[in-house]
């Protein structure tokens, strides 16, 4: 009996150890893609294997996600791409959606000046001019090496021949079926004649395949002109929307200088306005650099207090100072100065400062939807791409363009429809983000690349609306301050504070009871227990081994070779 017990114990121990190590990320030597969908990640890796670079792969993944991950992947939305090339060049591509030229700052207010949220977040009145197609094509043409036909073929095949629905995707379709039922074109795609799809069904999208073929044959004009544009604009205008043929024709992505900063010797490269992500991330890191964090301090009330207080000041500044730089002079240099961060650091006390006592700084001259998606790419040449893209709410406004097969966005809700008041997700916005014709709406997307001694070390980003910034921040801190590998850094529970409302949201297991008690004693208020973000990250170590992790909060995939 004793011998049996020892053998049983040994087997259990062996199983436990092997199970532990099986959960660690496996490194690749040549290239890697991490995205919210394994099929899309595999598309990207096949592009890398053909000799394509990280930009080629990123563009292919973007189009594949429009097919395999329709809740957030898209042709009808927009996004941001951050690029670091092996030759040292760093750039970003802004393909955020824009307000139609027929829009105006009061378009979502009634006669008495009251905000009507359903106009900005549902129906065709919520649609911004889409930028994803233009942005991906621009990136491919300028920084890619493969042909558009080679890049689009995998997405076309997935749409035309279909793919087997996994449990989570089928459940997502079913969960949203009531919203889809309001639109015949959407039910034609996301249901089987009115019945829900089930796990194991093959999901075909012939109209989306047709649209992708239009792109393959005609390039940009296959989406922003011709039959695809006609289907899109006619459906919008027949139902009272604002987008015109001219809005589509004149849309252009913008290549912008990255937002850059440093943290404890690492170089931070992120997205600038009209995304607030890069500015807020680096501003937070600048403040927190004034502390020295011991490994044992992670998760303590002292550590969380410091994070939360810094978050309050940064989100207060976000509400006033960030918007589309083509319409509003964003004081980027002032916000990112180490001196300004030092001033904020000095204001942080050992007890919580109520948000009501924190206002946007006068010294320097709104919650978005969670249904965004991020993907990270690294190739054998040393190129890195970090991309975040969105149609705002899950499945955008739930309307499929009849005959074209892609979903419309509802990004107009990301503007400050009534400056000074929160949108339906809780974020406060100011004049910097008020609606203007042709303007890009503010975002929190924070696609980021971090360099160590001049070479890519971390490539990461996340969905999560207003929580994106704090989610990316905590993963960065986990790696740079606490020495965690990419898996542990992403897996660890997280917290969030965005100035208003004045409460700490937190994940399960993020706060032990004594930590909660201590935070309350310090004057903090606890908010919701909820999941925060879905980071898709890559870490390249000193031996040039490539480690990737898809967030366990989602259902993505890591692929490499």
Tell me the catalytic residues. 372
Whole-number Å distance between alpha carbons of 489 and 80: 23
Distant-in-sequence, close-in-space partners of 244: CB < 8 Å, separation ≥ 6: 100, 101, 102, 233, 237
Reading the block at residue 258, the tokens are 């990255």
Are residues 374 and 546 in contact, defined by beta-carbon separation less than 8 angstroms? no
CA 348 vs. chain centroid, Å, equals 29
Look-up of token digits 């096949």: 46
Are residues 273 and 321 in contact, defined by beta-carbon separation less than 8 angstroms? no
Q: What's the chain's Rg over C-alpha atoms?
A: 23
Whole-number Å distance between alpha carbons of 214 and 63: 13
Give the three-class secondary structure for 310: helix
- Residue 452, burial from CB neighbour count under 10 angstroms (0-12, 13-18, 19+): middle
Strand partners, 298: none
CA distances from 333 to 16, 232, 283, 368 (A): 51, 40, 10, 25
CA distances from 337 to 92, 330, 419, 447, 473 (A): 21, 14, 27, 21, 18
CA distances from 257 to 174, 254, 447, 465 (A): 42, 10, 14, 23
Reading the block at residue 86, the tokens are 């092996």
Whole-number Å distance between alpha carbons of 460 and 497: 21
Look-up of token digits 């997205």: 271
Strand partners, 83: 91, 385
- Write b or e for each residue in 232-256: b if 16 or more Cβ atoms lie within 10 A of its Cβ, otherwise e: bbebbeeeebbbbeebbeebebbbb
Q: Phi and psi of 204, rounded to 5°?
A: -100, 145
- The residue among 435, 328, 430 whose CA lies nearest residue 106 is 435
Are residues 538 and 378 in contact, defined by beta-carbon separation less than 8 angstroms? yes
Reading the block at residue 122, the tokens are 């549902």
Q: DSSP string spanning 112-144?
A: TS-B-HHHHHSSGGGPPBP-HHHHHHHHHHHH-
How many other C-beta atoms are found inside a 10 Å radius of the C-beta of residue 60? 31
Look-up of token digits 């660690």: 24
Q: Which H or E element spans position 56? A: helix 54-68
Reading the block at residue 464, the tokens are 């999560």
């Amino acid at each position: 009996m004793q011998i049996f017990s020892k053998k049983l114990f040994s087997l259990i121990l062996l199983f436990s150890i092997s199970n532990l190590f099986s959960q660690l990320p496996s490194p690749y030597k040549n290239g890697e893609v991490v995205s919210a969908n394994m099929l899309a990640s595999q598309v990207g890796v096949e592009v890398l294997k053909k000799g394509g670079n990280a930009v080629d792969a990123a563009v292919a993944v973007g189009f594949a996600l429009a097919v395999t991950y329709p809740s957030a992947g898209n042709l009808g939305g927009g996004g941001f791409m951050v690029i670091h090339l092996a030759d040292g060049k760093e750039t970003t591509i802004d393909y955020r959606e824009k307000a139609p030229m027929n829009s105006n700052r009061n378009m979502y207010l009634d006669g008495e000046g009251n905000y009507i949220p359903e106009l900005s977040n549902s129906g065709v009145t919520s649609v911004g001019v889409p930028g994803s197609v233009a942005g991906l094509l621009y990136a491919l043409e300028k920084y890619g090496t493969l042909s558009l036909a080679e890049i689009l073929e995998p997405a076309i095949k997935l749409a035309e021949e279909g793919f087997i629905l996994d449990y989570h995707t089928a459940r997502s379709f079913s969960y949203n079926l009531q919203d889809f039922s309001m639109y015949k074109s959407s039910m034609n795609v996301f249901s089987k004649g009115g019945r829900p799809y089930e796990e194991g069904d093959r999901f075909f999208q012939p109209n989306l395949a047709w649209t992708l073929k239009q792109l393959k044959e005609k390039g940009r004009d296959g989406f922003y002109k011709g039959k695809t544009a006609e289907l899109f604009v006619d459906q919008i205008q027949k139902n009272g929307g604002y987008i015109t043929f001219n809005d589509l024709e004149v849309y252009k992505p913008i290549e912008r200088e990255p937002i850059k900063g440093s943290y404890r010797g690492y170089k931070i490269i992120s997205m600038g306005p009209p995304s607030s992500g890069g500015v807020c991330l680096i501003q937070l890191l600048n403040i927190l650099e004034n502390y020295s964090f011991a490994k044992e301090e992670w998760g303590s009330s002292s550590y969380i207090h410091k994070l939360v207080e810094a978050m309050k000041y940064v989100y207060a500044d976000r509400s006033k100072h960030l918007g589309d730089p083509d319409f509003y002079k964003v004081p980027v240099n002032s916000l990112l100065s180490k001196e300004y961060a030092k001033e904020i650091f000095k204001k942080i006390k050992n007890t919580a400062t109520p948000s009501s006592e924190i206002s946007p700084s006068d010294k320097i001259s709104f919650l978005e939807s969670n249904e965004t998606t991020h993907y990270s790419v690294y190739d054998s040449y040393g190129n890195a791409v970090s991309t975040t893209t969105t149609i705002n709410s899950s499945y955008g406004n739930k309307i499929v363009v009849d005959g074209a097969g892609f979903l419309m966005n509802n990004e107009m809700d990301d503007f400050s429809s009534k400056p000074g008041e929160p949108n339906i997700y809780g974020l406060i916005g100011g004049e910097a983000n008020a609606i203007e014709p042709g303007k890009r709406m503010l975002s929190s997307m924070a696609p980021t690349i971090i360099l160590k001694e001049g070479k890519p070390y971390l490539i990461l980003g996340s969905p999560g609306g207003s929580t994106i910034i704090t989610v990316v921040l905590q993963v960065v801190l986990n790696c740079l301050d606490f020495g965690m590998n990419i898996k542990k850094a992403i897996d660890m529970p997280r917290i969030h504070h965005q100035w208003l409302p004045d409460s700490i949201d937190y994940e399960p297991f993020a706060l032990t009871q004594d930590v909660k008690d201590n935070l309350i004693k310090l004057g903090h208020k606890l908010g919701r227990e909820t999941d925060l973000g879905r980071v898709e990250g890559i870490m390249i170590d000193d031996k040039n081994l490539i480690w990737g992790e898809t967030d366990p909060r989602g259902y993505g995939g890591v692929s490499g070779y």
